[in-house]
Amino acid sequence: MSDLLPPPSTEGHGAVQLHEHSNANLLKIDTHDTYSTVGAIKKLIVKALPAEKHETPPQSLLKGLIRINKNPKNAHLFMAFETPEDRAAASALLQTISHRGRPWTEASVSSRDLELTHKGGVKRRRDGGDRDGLRKLTQYEHLSMEEQLDRKKRHCLDVMRAILPPCACSDVAFQDRFVGILKSPVTEGYRNHVNLSFGFCADGITRALGFQEGSLVEGTAAILPATLPGKDIVTMNAAAKVVAAALMDVCTEFRDAAKGGLDVFDKVKASGFWRKLQVRHNVKGEVMMDVEVDAASVTADVWTAVRQRLVEIFTSEEMRVKLTAATGLSTAAVASLQCHTRTGISSLPFDVQREVLYGASTLTEYLAGLRFELSPTAFFQVNTPGMESMLTKVTEVTALSASTTLLDLCSGTGTIGLTLSKYVKRVIGIELIESAVSNARRNAQQNGITNAEFHCGRVEHLLPSVITSLPAEDRGDIVVILDPPRAGVNSTVLKWIRGMDTIRRVVYISCEQTALVRDCPGLTKPSTKAYRGAPFEVTAAFAVDLFPHTHHVEMVAVLTRRPEGAGASTSEPVPAPAPANAESSGEDEDKTAANSDGAVSSSGTSLKDRCVFE
Task: Give the residue numbers of the binding site for S-adenosyl-L-methionine.
Answer: 381, 431, 483
Q: One of 156, 339, 511, 611 is an active-site residue; which one?
A: 511
Widest distance between CA atoms in the chain = 91
Which strand ranges, in their side-by-side order, compose the sheet holding 76-81? 65-70, 76-81, 26-30, 105-107
232-241: burial string, b at 16+ Cβ within 10 Å, e else: ebbbbbbbbb
What is the identity of the amino acid at 407?
A: L
Degrees, nearest 5: CA angle 13-14-20: 95
3-state SS record for 526-577: CCCCCCCCCCEEEEEEEEECCCCCCCCCEEEEEEEECCCCCCCCCCCCCCCC
- CA 360, 362, 365, 369: dihedral to nearest 10 degrees? -90
407-427: burial string, b at 16+ Cβ within 10 Å, e else: bbbbbbbbbbbbbbbbbbbbb
Nearest partner of 567 among 168, 163, 128, judged by Cα: 168
Q: Could you give the residue ranges of the DSSP H alpha helices within 421-535?
A: 434-446, 459-468, 491-499, 513-524
Report the alpha-carbon distance of residue 524 to residue 192 in Å, rounded.
36
Three-state DSSP at 95 gives: coil
Report the alpha-carbon distance of residue 614 to residue 599 in Å, rounded.
15
Residue 511 among the catalytic residues:
yes
Give, in order, the Cα–Cα distances in Å from 146 to each of 159, 160, 493, 600: 20, 21, 38, 13
Query: How would DSSP label each residue in 129-175?
Result: SS--THHHH-TTTTS-HHHHHHHHHHHHHHHHHHHS-HHHHTSTHHH
Element (H, E) at 92: helix 84-94
Bridge partners, residue 38, by sequence: none
Give, in order, the Cα–Cα distances in Å from 481 to each of 331, 391, 398, 415: 34, 12, 10, 11
Report the alpha-carbon distance of residue 387 to residue 366 in Å, rounded.
11
Bridge partners, residue 372, by sequence: 365
Report the alpha-carbon distance of residue 66 to residue 82 in Å, rounded.
7
Q: Which residues are catalytic?
A: 511
